[in-house]
Amino acid sequence: MDVEILARVQFAFTIAFHYIYPPLSIGLGLLLVIYEGMYLKTGDKKYEQIARFWIKIFALIFGLGVATGIIMEFEFGTNWATYSKYVGDIFGSALAAEGIFAFALESGFLGILIFGWNRVGPKVHFFSCIMVFLGSMFSAVWIVVANSWQQTPAGYHIVGEGLNARAEITDFWAMVFNPSSVERLIHVWIGCFLAGAFLVLSVNAWYILKKRHLDIAKRSFRIALVVATVSGLLQLLAGHKSADGVARNQPAKLAALEGHFDSSARADMYLIGKVNNKTQEVSGISIPGGLSFLLHGNFTEPVKGLNAFPEDERPKQVNAIFQFYHIMVACGMIMIGMTLLACFYWWRKNLFDKRWLLRAFVWAVLLPQIANQAGWFAAEMGRQPWVVYGLLKTSDALSKSVTANQVLFSLILFLGVYFILFLLFLYLLNRKIQHGPVDYGTKEHIDEGSKRDNPIMDHES
């Protein structure tokens, strides 16, 4: 197989696996702040119990996120050396900022968050919780800035030529606030909140169905439902704003997202469909002129299509991009529908009697994960053939000395290691969920002394 395809498959696999965990930790971080804040405000030990339980889960997810993220640093050097040299100044500054302002903050206070129960006061512990949450948010900032610069480069100039060419920062803040970074960051943050909220909803729906930990499960479920509902509705606005930005900055990508080829024609908005790249036709269910209306407020206004771009400067896998984009949108709409329906039953005071809806929430933990992954694939495939939009093509970004066999070997190795890591994650997560929240006020747990202060190596180990 071609070395470029193998290197792209390897990077897609490793980053997709890694991207399971950071959204969960950011979303859970927000809920931890709410749960601890409720405990601090009310003094109700049930909220402390909820917070302690989810901190265990947070610690597990954080650990997997760090472990799986390290691999990508090596890939930049082994498979994408030309790319690394080209964007080294840009990525170096963004990743350094992440390490200084985000990771250090998050990991530093994480120790207090995990081991600080009964060692620091509730206010100090709550402050640590906020710092860990902000650290995870800041981490997303710098990663999204680095990625957004690839989509919409700004604040740079190119020095050198050919293989020695590289981008050099001329305006740091223009690089940070490049044309797509803010709207993409908001879109990503909200996706993270949904991932964390739906994990909490799933676990607590399962407890309620099993009639276990009913009191705290219902409290925890209601709070997560509010976060999920607000986040889902905000994502409608953020998604629309993000699509506007893509239309303005990367029109070829927008055309690929909707399978729109003819620049002289109105653009339909497809709810579901299939793109035939050869005939340049889309079959499916659509709103005629829907995309034209969203972009121009007019159902007949033409939208720039793929045929307006040279063939070697537009995405080739249009159907795949179309499908990933529509999967993301469909998952988002299902999440919004589920949360609004749950709020309606909550208002009718019979939410927890709707067992079919609770069963749906148990499985709905997959929806934000699928949406986040599909959205990322649509965004990254949509900017092809560019790795840095309009500046550096993916085919030119490869390491010059790496061979297909070397990439294939490392890909198989990563598949094996990540498979084992994922099984370990599921095993540990299942154990913690099966065990459930612990009532730390009982004699049994008071007698356990310092053991209870370690949420990772607790009595269940």
**Can you give the pLDDT at residue 106?**
83
Confidence of residue 347 (pLDDT cuts 50, 70, 90): very high
* Type of residue found at 83: Y
Confidence of residue 459 (pLDDT cuts 50, 70, 90): very low
More confident residue, 328 or 161: 328
Confidence of residue 165 (pLDDT cuts 50, 70, 90): confident
The overall average pLDDT reported for the chain is 89
Quick one: tokens of 213? Answer: 């930990």
Hunting for tokens 């198989």 — which residue is that? 412
* Type of residue found at 425: F
Q: Identify how many contiguous H helices and E strands the chain contains and give both numbers.
A: 16, 6
Confidence of residue 108 (pLDDT cuts 50, 70, 90): confident
Cβ-Cβ contacts under 8 Å for 293 (sequence gap 6 or more): 269, 299
Distance CA 251, CA 256 (A): 9
What's the residue count for the chain? 461
Cβ atoms of residues 137 and 58 within 8 Å = no
pLDDT tens figures, 261-318: 988 888 899 999 999 988 888 999 999 999 899 888 888 888 889 999 888 888 888 9
- Residue 20's nearest CA partner among 192, 235, 176 is 192
Instruction: For residue 385, say if its preceding peptide bond is cis, omega within 30 degrees of 0.
Output: yes
Cβ atoms of residues 292 and 328 within 8 Å = no
3-state class of 269 per DSSP? strand
DSSP 8-state symbol, 117: T
* Other Cβ atoms within 10 Å of 165 Cβ, number: 15
Burial call 104-130: b when 16+ CB within 10 Å, e when fewer: ebbeebbebbbbbbeeeeeeebbbbbb
**Can you give the pLDDT at residue 59?**
92
Distance CA 372, CA 266 (A): 29
Q: What percent of the chain has pLDDT over 90?
A: 55
pLDDT tens figures, 10-19: 999 999 999 9
Hunting for tokens 């889960």 — which residue is that? 57
**Can you give the pLDDT at residue 445?**
54
**Can you give the pLDDT at residue 441?**
63
Report the pLDDT averaged over residues 188-214. 96
- Residue 252's nearest CA partner among 241, 263, 242 is 263
More confident residue, 83 or 98: 83
Burial of 208 (0-12, 13-18, 19+ CB in 10 A): buried
Cβ-Cβ contacts under 8 Å for 229 (sequence gap 6 or more): 336, 339, 340, 342, 343
- Residue 321's nearest CA partner among 235, 395, 250, 388 is 250
Report the pLDDT averaged over residues 55-71. 89
Distance CA 102, CA 25 (A): 13
* Type of residue found at 187: H
- Taking the domains of the chain in order of start, what are their residue ranges? 184-384
Confidence of residue 89 (pLDDT cuts 50, 70, 90): confident
Quick one: tokens of 460? Answer: 């269940």
pLDDT tens figures, 412-427: 999 999 999 999 999 9
Instruction: List the beta bridge partners of residue 286.
Output: 270
pLDDT at 457 over 70: no
pLDDT tens figures, 434-454: 998 877 665 455 444 444 444
